[in-house]
Structure 1
Amino acid sequence: VKDTTQPKNILLIRSAANTLNATIKSLKNEFPDSKITVFAPESALESLENHPNIDATISAGPINRMSIFSVKKKMIRKMRCGQFDLAIALYNIDHGMGYSNIDFLAWVSGAETIRGYNVRGTFIEFNGWGILKKYFLEKTSFTWFIINAFTTIALFAFITLGLLFEWTVRKVFAITSPKRTLSPRQEKVVLPQDTKPSSIHSLTTKAHQKV
């Protein structure tokens, strides 16, 4: 019966260079008799050859971003031939969101146990179903982000166009509407504000005589 409590053959997928050394140290402390194999892009293999705690390396090919779609099938077959007990995905962030492509690579390696290590040296352990849930959560979060961004842009554009339309209509009506002018008959007669009552002329001497 194979002892699964102490992994003897560990695959480490080099997806985050900053987490590599801390993870290897943690693995060696936990499993001192284990053999560590690193799966990495061709450009990173040279820097790993002289590492004291790395026993073997597997090339992922001349690629920058590793995923089950970018890595060639023959590289994946070579990785599966290693018969690993534990596969490790490295994260640059604590929660590991955005690294489901690396989790899938760890899954297709055929390892019985899968872990994701972050920059603090802590890890989460999951299976294939956990990887699928994480993958759909990432895609759903990204989809909602795109929807919210598109909705915000559309709403802003709608409000801006509405204001421009209102401004244009006001300008057009201001130009085309005739100005109201008063006809001569409609001209207002302005009366003086201070009007004095007409003076009463005194009767002449002849008028007195007639009376």
Structure 2
Amino acid sequence: MNEQKSQVNILVIRSATRILNPTLLSLREEFPDCRITVLAPQSAREAVAQDPLVDEVLTLPDQRRMSISSYGKENIARLQAKKFDLAISLYNIDHGLGYANIDRLACASKATEVRGYNPKGTFVKLDSAKALRKSIMEKTTFFWLGINYAATALLCFIITLALIGEWGVRKLLGKKAASHKPYQAPARESNKVVTHA
């Protein structure tokens, strides 16, 4: 952070609503004279604008995922022109997996420093390389999970075909299936008297 600058310009990407206010409070404590801009979905604009901790609200269209592509090149250029000192990604989970798109959006702002905050109140410092690695890891994790599910389904299909095939062969060859009656041992004749001559 640039200590000579009197006002720290901060961008907070509202991706995890649960920790937005605690994060804003901790940022105000760490940087008392900061200016906080929140990037939020259009549907949350009014709610975020009413927060006294927020100085400015930027919006992007309501979509399933916030990302560089959903925000658009022109808006990314406007973010970069604001020259943020700090960009914040918010996570609903401790490790932040699943939020690579938010990390990449924060890095695209070209802020001097990028952080990822989690519900524990701790943060990790991010850069473009870390965000890209995280994105690749998320995509390959989903890929291998998909491969695993497909292989399991194929295996179940093959086993089912084998069982149906065995049943068909038994029907064609006329072999009867094993009886389901319990095994009964032959009865002993214990009342016979054995005499030796």
Fold conserved between structures, TM > 0.5:
yes
- Per-residue CA deviations over 1:66-93 (Å, capped at 9, x if unaligned) read 1111112222222222110110011110
- Per-residue CA deviations over 1:143-165 (Å, capped at 9, x if unaligned) read 11111111111111111110110
Aligned match of 2:75: 75
TM-fit CA distance, 1:64:
4.2
Structure 1 gap ranges (5+): 176-211
CA–CA distance in structure 1, aligned partners of residues 118 and 24 of structure 2: 12
- Per-residue CA deviations over 1:116-135 (Å, capped at 9, x if unaligned) read 11112111111111111111
Alignment check: 8 A CA contact 2:37 2:54 kept: yes
Is 1:46 paired with 2:46? yes
Q: What's the secondary structure of 1:70's corresponding residue?
A: helix
Aligned match of 1:174: 174
Any residues of structure 2 matched to 1:102-181 within 5 Å, and which?
Answer: 102-174=102-174
Q: What's the secondary structure of 2:116's corresponding residue?
A: strand
Aligned match of 2:191: none
Alignment check: 8 A CA contact 1:89 1:116 kept: yes
Q: What's the secondary structure of 2:107's corresponding residue?
A: helix
User: What amino acid does structure 1 have at the position aligned with 2:165?
Assistant: F
User: What amino acid does structure 1 have at the position aligned with 2:23?
Assistant: T
User: What amino acid does structure 2 have at the position aligned with 1:96?
Assistant: G
Aligned match of 2:185: none
Aligned match of 1:86: 86
Structure 2 gap ranges (5+): 176-197
TM-fit CA distance, 1:172:
1.2
- Per-residue CA deviations over 1:156-206 (Å, capped at 9, x if unaligned) read 11111101101111101118xxxxxxxxxxxxxxxxxxxxxxxxxxxxxxx
Q: Which runs of 4+ in 1 moved over 6 A?
A: 4-7
Q: What's the secondary structure of 2:63's corresponding residue?
A: coil
With over 3 angstroms needed to count, the CA separation of the structure-2 counterparts of 1:4 and 1:66, relative to structure 1, is farther
The sequence identity of aligned pairs, in percent, is 47
Aligned match of 2:193: none
User: What amino acid does structure 2 have at the position aligned with 1:157?
Assistant: F
Aligned match of 1:55: 55
Alignment check: 8 A CA contact 2:61 2:70 kept: no
| RMSD of equivalent CA atoms | 1.8
- Compute the TM-score of the two structures, normalised by the length of structure 1: 0.77
User: What amino acid does structure 2 have at the position aligned with 1:108?
Assistant: A
Q: What's the secondary structure of 1:87's corresponding residue?
A: strand
CA–CA distance in structure 2, aligned partners of residues 47 and 66 of structure 1: 18
Q: Name whichever of 141-150 and 69-78 sits farther off.
A: 69-78
> Which structure is larger by alpha-carbon Rg, 1 or 2?
1
User: What amino acid does structure 2 have at the position aligned with 1:17?
Assistant: T
CA–CA distance in structure 1, aligned partners of residues 103 and 67 of structure 2: 9
CA–CA distance in structure 1, aligned partners of residues 111 and 4 of structure 2: 11
CA–CA distance in structure 2, aligned partners of residues 159 and 94 of structure 1: 40
Alignment check: 8 A CA contact 1:4 1:85 kept: no
CA–CA distance in structure 1, aligned partners of residues 6 and 140 of structure 2: 36
